Amino acid sequence: MATGHRSLADQLRSWSDERLARLLHDRPDLATPAPSDSAQLASRAATRSSVLRTLDLLTRLELSVLDALVVVGPTSREALLGIVHADPAEVGAALDRLVDLALAWEAETGLRPLTGVVEALAGSPGTSGLRPSSAEPAPPETIAAAVEALSEPARALLLHVLDQGGEARTEARTHVSVADARTPAEELLARRLLTPRGGGTVVLPGEVGLVLRGGRTTTTPIDPRPTLLTSERDQALVDRGAAGAAHEALHHVEVLLEEWGVRPPSVLRGGGLAVRDLKGAAQLLQTDPVAAAFWVELAYAAGLLGHGLGPEGDLAWLPTTAVDAWIEESPAHRWRTLVSGWLVSNRVPGQVGRRDGAGKAWNALTSELTAPHQAETRRMVLDELAALPEGTTLAAATGPASLVERLAWLRPRRPRGRTDQIGWALAEGERLGVLGLGGASTPLRLLLDGETDAAVEALAAALPEPVDHVLLQADLTAVAPGPLEPTVARRVQLLADVESRGSATVYRFGASSVRRGLDAGWTPAEIHAFLASVSRTPVPQPLTYLVDDAARTFGTVRVGHAESFLRADDETALTELLHHPRAASLGLRRLAPTVLISTTPVDVLLQRLRELGAAPVVEAPDGTVHIARPEPLRSRTRETTPVAAARGAARETARITAVIAGLRAGDRALPVRPPATAVDPRGRSTPSATLTALREAIESGTSVVIGVIGDDGLPTDRTVEPMSVEGGRLTALDPRTETLRAFAVHRIVSVRPAGDAP
């Protein structure tokens, strides 16, 4: 190919900044830490772990194209389009993406896969099962003729080997002529339809497989992506259902955080939430434990729940400091916070209650309660649903299964637990109100398009309008016929207990709740005025009476602080103490003729009284308890909440730009450095430079001279053809002996191209 490059590094060097940025965005592992130049970038792109990670992102079609590339070896674009059983335009697009992802590159010999790909792709789901072609494949016509000439048992065996992955073991002699062949296997070997690999292993080369499959890697087309089974619903209905769920979601999280702010459940020793506490939460939220686990995990994912010290000094699950700001926001904003946290969370509350491999049931909030690709799968589910036209929803019964199939096509390499993950994503989406009746709600569509503000507005429009009044009734209840404005709600909630929540709220007034208002400093007149102003209906007489009655008895008993008390039947003795010149610091106060109280602790007081000449005795404690209304407890907001991570998209772009700028600078500096060897003062290359040089050599298939430290501690030079670098070992072919040898990478001190002088 005319535009071929000497190496992947060369190709990357020729790319525009945008293209590089796209690569670093799609393969973020390449950018951390920032590579110094394109050679290092190329080297890193070829590592097994990075390749595997990238393969996971491919669709079935892309995998098939890559697989075809592996099967035929370096080839032209046109040839490749011919052997993939799919629409050529689609195959072309898939190929472009593979090149963009640096999984394939344009070498001088034609398009070729990255070396690591061959191994990584072997046996992967979504591939054809064909082996790579031989180095010098026979022309298809010759192979076809050979196949044609096969005996029936040999043909059956050949097809069997093809179906079994192209590899088999046999006792057959490997070097026989067609005439000498005694078994079908020997016949196949003689006709060179199977190739011996040593050790009794035979391989069906790719070119034979291609011929057997009619010139293509698969017999069935691979491009039709499974379609979703859908039904038609009014989008308004979808939005309405979703908004109702969103409202419920907010309500649930609020109630949960409010309760846990006062009565937090403890953190289990292994982290997580006790089953009993989860059941408690379910009861509180009037739902089942499965749903309760979701609400708890949702609050956690949104950074609203963390652990901190509970009231008894033990570790407990507490609302974070972020809650206080969150609760002040508008409902739609609050919802957005929840959804943002949920979208990027890998947590799988759907697993709660199920048993793990060891037979132990999963607890909510356990740190291991995650699935690596949950966020990605969830996002794909939402993207798929949002891609449907408005008013189209997933069919109720058959839809989820079709979604599973479609995702299996889009990500063939992510099969484990996919059905579960998709089911959870759908169920959670319905609960959270991003989905309604199986369809994407308008706010979700906007949110996925990045139009956050528009999404918030759309939801705000669909949520019930806040009301600013209540209806007071003679049975001492107040009904807010809709969500109450927060300022009004807080005041009503101070004066009355909540009896029923939902879209509307029912409050009940009682002597104790009114007293709570009085405790908070309200005067009866203020309460009357507030009730009259907030009620659309006349204030019922019994309620007025109740307030007055509560006020009448309010404060008849007074409570104060005292560290200790003094009791004496002798009034004059107390009077004397009270007026003693040296008793001023004791903080004495007379409550009754025979009782004094003091602000001094008993042990100190006892000492001081003795100094003053009194002879006090200590009374046994009689067990009075002081109960204060507990303040809501808070834990610290986690430093890096998933929400913060979600907001970092812009930051990510900036970082990638910086990485590319660094790359360019590194490449510019290249001519003044020895090629591919950063040398330390002792003339040895640095480990990273060594690896880069080795990977580049593997990629370009060239020989290098490596300096290896021998057992005597002295370096010796060896000329080798590197094959792979994995796990700190270099596997290379020694051209003199034609054998594979392994070298420990840490013993290699220099690498230079074979032609160069040392």
Partner 1 sequence: MNDGPLIVQSDKTLLLEVDHEDAAACRKAIAPFAELERSPEHVHTYRLTPLGLWNARAAGHDAEQVVDTLLTYSRYAVPHALLVDVAETMARYGRLRLEKHPVHGLVLASSDRPVLEEVLRAKKVAGMLGERLDPDTVAVHPSERGNLKQALLKLGWPAEDFAGYVDGEAHAIDLDPEGWSLRPYQAEAVDSFWHGGSGVVVLPCGAGKTLVGAAAMAQARATTLILVTNTVSARQWKDELVRRTSLTADEIGEYSGTSKEIRPVTIATYQVLTTRRKGVYPHLELLDARDWGLIVYDEVHLLPAPIFRMTADLQARRRLGLTATLVREDGREGDVFSLIGPKRYDAPWKDIEAQGWIAPADCVEVRVSLPESERLVYATAEPDERYRLAACTHHKVDVVRSLVEQHGDAPTLVIGQYLDQLDELATALDAPVISGDTKVAERQRLFDAFRSGEIRRLVVSKVANFSIDLPSAEVAIQVSGSYGSRQEEAQRLGRLLRPGRDGKVARFYTVVARDTVDADFAAHRQRFLAEQGYAYRIVDAADLG
Binding interface with partner 1 (CB under 8 A): 240-241, 243-245, 247-248, 251, 286-287, 291, 430, 462, 464-465, 471-477, 479, 481-482, 500-504, 506, 537, 540-542, 545, 553
Q: How far is the CB of 545 from partner 1 (least distance, A)?
A: 4
Q: How far is the CB of 330 from partner 1 (least distance, A)?
A: 17
Using CA atoms of 388, 393, 394, 396 in order, give the dihedral in degrees to the nearest 10. Answer: -170
- What phi and psi, each to the nearest 5 degrees, are found at residue 628? -105, 150
Q: How far is the CB of 412 from partner 1 (least distance, A)?
A: 33
Q: Are 634 and 324 in contact (CB under 8 A)?
A: yes
**Would you say 95 or 506 has its CB closer to partner 1?**
506
**Would you say 65 or 550 has its CB closer to partner 1?**
550
Contacts 24+ apart (CB under 8 A), 650-659: 652/25, 652/28, 653/21, 653/25, 655/31, 656/21, 656/24, 656/25, 656/31, 657/17, 657/21, 658/34, 659/24, 659/31, 659/34, 659/35
Distance CA 221, CA 409 (A): 13
Please give the full DSSP string across 307-321, using - where no structure is assigned: EEE-TTSSEEEEEBT
Distance CA 317, CA 309 (A): 8
Q: How far is the CB of 240 from partner 1 (least distance, A)?
A: 5
**Would you say 481 or 648 has its CB closer to partner 1?**
481
Distance CA 183, CA 438 (A): 60
Q: How far is the CB of 646 from partner 1 (least distance, A)?
A: 26
Q: How far is the CB of 242 from partner 1 (least distance, A)?
A: 8
- What phi and psi, each to the nearest 5 degrees, are found at residue 384? -60, -45
Going by the DSSP 8-state scheme, the letter that residue 111 receives in this structure is E
**Would you say 187 or 248 has its CB closer to partner 1?**
248
The SS3 of residue 677 is coil
Q: Are 255 and 284 in contact (CB under 8 A)?
A: yes
**Would you say 128 or 477 has its CB closer to partner 1?**
477
Distance CA 74, CA 632 (A): 67
Question: 């307030």: which residue's tokens?
Answer: 547
Q: How far is the CB of 508 from partner 1 (least distance, A)?
A: 9
Q: Are 327 and 342 in contact (CB under 8 A)?
A: no
Q: How far is the CB of 252 from partner 1 (least distance, A)?
A: 9
For residue 697, what are the contacts with CB-CB under 8 A and spacing of at least 6? 703, 704, 721, 722, 751, 753
Q: How far is the CB of 272 from partner 1 (least distance, A)?
A: 25
694 alpha carbon, distance to own chain's centre:
35
Q: How far is the CB of 581 from partner 1 (least distance, A)?
A: 43
Using CA atoms of 279, 285, 291, 294 in order, give the dihedral in degrees to the nearest 10. Answer: -90
**Would you say 500 or 716 has its CB closer to partner 1?**
500
**Would you say 477 or 724 has its CB closer to partner 1?**
477
Q: How far is the CB of 630 from partner 1 (least distance, A)?
A: 25
**Would you say 513 or 685 has its CB closer to partner 1?**
513
Q: Are 126 and 60 in contact (CB under 8 A)?
A: yes
**Would you say 500 or 686 has its CB closer to partner 1?**
500
Q: How far is the CB of 234 from partner 1 (least distance, A)?
A: 13
**Would you say 286 or 523 has its CB closer to partner 1?**
286
**Would you say 490 or 536 has its CB closer to partner 1?**
536
Distance CA 467, CA 481 (A): 7
**Would you say 502 or 728 has its CB closer to partner 1?**
502
120 alpha carbon, distance to own chain's centre:
24
Q: Are 5 and 112 in contact (CB under 8 A)?
A: no
Helical packing angle, 399-410 and 374-387, nearest 10°: 110
Q: How far is the CB of 257 from partner 1 (least distance, A)?
A: 17
Distance CA 721, CA 44 (A): 19
Which tokens is 93 given? 């697009």
Distance CA 733, CA 742 (A): 9
Order across the sheet with 201-203: list the strands.
167-169, 201-203, 195-196
Distance CA 80, CA 88 (A): 9
Q: How far is the CB of 479 from partner 1 (least distance, A)?
A: 4
**Would you say 236 or 387 has its CB closer to partner 1?**
236
Distance CA 419, CA 408 (A): 9
Q: How far is the CB of 498 from partner 1 (least distance, A)?
A: 11
Q: How far is the CB of 483 from partner 1 (least distance, A)?
A: 9
**Would you say 408 or 435 has its CB closer to partner 1?**
435
**Would you say 471 or 645 has its CB closer to partner 1?**
471
The residues that bridge with 721 in the sheet, in sequence order, are 733
How many residues would you count in the chain?
Answer: 758
**Would you say 174 or 535 has its CB closer to partner 1?**
535
